[in-house]
Amino acid sequence: MIVVATTLAAFAMDRRDTYAAWLYTAEEVIASHDDVRFFAAVQVDTRGTAPFVPLLEELADLPVHVDYWSYSLDDGRTEVTTLNRQRHLTMGENLCSDYATGEGASHLLFCAADCAPPGDVLPKLVEVDAPVAAAHVSTYCLDGDRDAGYAFPHHAGPFTAACVLLRRDAFKQLKWRYDPDLGMTDDPAMAFDVLHKFGQHPITRRDCLAQHYPMSIGAIETRGHDMQVHR
Domains located in the chain, CATH noted: 2-222 (3.90.550.10)
Along the chain (231 residues), what's the average pLDDT of each consecutive run of 10 residues? 98 97 98 98 97 98 98 95 94 98 98 98 97 93 71 90 97 97 95 96 95 83 88 92
Q: Are 222 and 154 in contact (CB under 8 A)?
A: no
pTM of the model: 0.95
Between CA 231 and CA 229 the distance in angstroms is 6
Pairing of β 154-156 and β 115-116: unpaired
Helix (H/G/I), strand (E/B), else coil: 89? helix
